[in-house]
Structure 1
């Protein structure tokens, strides 16, 4: 099936509200993730020209809405991809929160619809529904939520959700509300995406697997007379040479022991998320065979749930791999790297100039003593390009 390929892409970064550091699975090289640090990452992403930042959700993270509310006032262009949780939030409350944050941020809110795939965590939040029932809730939730943000007064009676006379008194800045992002690989999830979502997100599987998944989502959306945008969630490990990048990937998991990996895999195995099963199958809980495609590495998923793959390589290699996903119709690339502050700079400086960004990278006008000019040589002259007289 053919797909629409956009000439431009949006690159988003990630706010590590669950923790950050130089190594996975250990306290070695870890760093405190407090408001000051999150401000540093958000300001870096804003100044470097990232389209937005994803703020994760769940009991292992700081609350995404409070983090976005704290950071939006100190940034100018950066958008915030925050989570609504069907079954955990009533749709009327979620709609009011979205409209308020959209107004306070000047229209810089994106919404990530998260159904939740860990039954143990769900029970801790008071949700005792099966996988299929949770997607029934998601469908009903979005039906009410979207009508409210369009300015309707809503009466709705569903299997799980009922409202009478629900309405928003204060509208959002963005027409019909902030765009909806959503990820899920099960048939139930794909049905929700095809019928109600603006941008479908996939985790970073090999290109062939992503192509198959997007073809099915696209087919189901077309049956409903809809056209979606598409995004992908990946980590990145980019260095000036491929050898340096793979060495950095090895260092990232150099403190991991087998017991830590086994414990993490037990937690992932209890989940009823189809996407998590697909991620876990890429590495099988083993350090062997982590290179699962050209410049694609599954090492992060040994201990991290959700997105568990990274693009690893030189700037040109990483840019080439991104263009391969772009050719499938993907226009939103949600990226991260360890530590997140340094990797935000590294990716922006090394790879962004090679990408067809929908919005220009950086803030445009630069001061005299800032890049890209480099440090003044001998206090008297500016450096030139390599191989040119300066």
Structure 2
């Protein structure tokens, strides 16, 4: 087994040494490091240099556009792939298929796609999308069927409940066809994932909950005659020792004002997302008992929508937890830290070598040239 590790590009309000909130329609708060090309290039190159395969870029009203951001960053990096999150309700299936083809072909195959149906109706209405949640998933099903057929080189006639195309054929077929990543905890989401996803994503819940999700999606996919890979989205706080890591978690928690927690939690409790409800249930808005499983900390979710848990511990302990999730069937890990630039090095230099020694990760980076020893007399002679 060789696990895949991906990083995160903080286009959702920028980056900094404290938890940057936002997501699901919430303001991100102050960050300190802007989400501009110069800084995001540093993060992307740090991910690339530390052995990460790709970087997830989020989508929504609370962040920069993922397509444009990653298109720019593809020109300032060399090998890193970009996991572009996008919403099928705000772009036509033909245009999305064409954009993916252009991106893939002009970046030499560095595109992956994260399909997000949208969990907040009030945010969707900002984009002019007035469907309810279940209808959004039915439309997503139609969308992905059209896109898949276009990528297969078909001329597509399709007339569904929400989408229609006539004699649609694509001149920009992506090579290779990008993998589709898809998450969602509702019954409607599971059905779409089973039919169309290459990788099903879950947020960082305790292993027992993750195992149940994997079994659920595997069963639905088997009914469709398909197999699916599984990935998990989490934050990381990894240090040389466990005490250092938990001290950093305590520092992040101390930087979160109690009034901010209450304000954010009020907003998140209105979320339509089943996954968000599961995140909230891990801590219930309380600062107490945030270690919900060994080395799994729910503190991030106090002020951040979406992925709200972090792996916290020594490099060995974090590697142990990753191995535990891998044993359940998780093959891909989408990770982040605060700040994302330094965090890529903490994980890349601390945890990945341990996983490589255990045979769980293979370093695909080009071999680096190292100078020979300087030919002077030995010291002391």
Do the two structures share a fold, i.e. TM-score over 0.5? yes
> Deviation of residue 136 (structure 1)?
0.5
| 1:88 maps onto 2:85 in alignment | no
> In structure 1, what is the equivalent of residue 253 of structure 2?
253
Alignment-derived partner of residue 130 in structure 2: 128
Whole-angstrom CA distance in 2 between matches of 1:184 and 1:142:
15
Aligned residue for 1:292, secondary structure, equals: strand
- Could you tell me which residue of structure 2 aligns to residue 165 of structure 1? 167
Q: CA deviation at 1:366?
A: 3.3
- Secondary structure of 2:147's partner? helix
Displacement of 1:314: 0.3
Aligned equivalent of 1:13: 7
Deviation at 1:173, TM superposition (A): 1.3
**Cα distance between partner residues in 2 of 1:132 and 1:318:** 37
Matches within 5 A, 1:1-390: 7-18=1-12, 19-24=14-19, 30-174=32-176, 177-355=177-355, 356=359, 359-360=362-363, 362-368=365-371
Shift of 1:305: 0.5
* 2:66 and 2:86 in contact (8 A); partners too: no
How far apart, CA to CA, are the structure 1 residues paired with 2:198 and 2:242? 36
CA distance in 2, matches of 1:297, 1:341: 21
Tell me how far apart the structure 2 counterparts of residues 33 and 294 of structure 1 sit (CA, whole Å): 33
Q: Gaps spanning 5+ residues in structure 2: where?
A: 22-28
1:98-117 C-alpha deviation (Å, 9 max, x unpaired): 00000011011101010010
1:53 & 1:380 partners in 2: Cα distance?
Answer: 46
1:66 partner SS: helix
User: What TM-score comes out, normalization by structure 1 length?
Assistant: 0.90
The total of aligned residue pairs comes to 367
- Counterparts of 2:172 and 2:377, CA distance in 1: 57
Distance in 1, Cα, partners of 2:210 & 2:221: 16
CA 1:358–1:106 in structure 2 vs 1: closer, same or farther (change >3 Å)? farther
CA distance in 2, matches of 1:263, 1:29: 18
In the TM superposition, residue 168 of structure 1 has moved relative to its aligned partner by 0.7
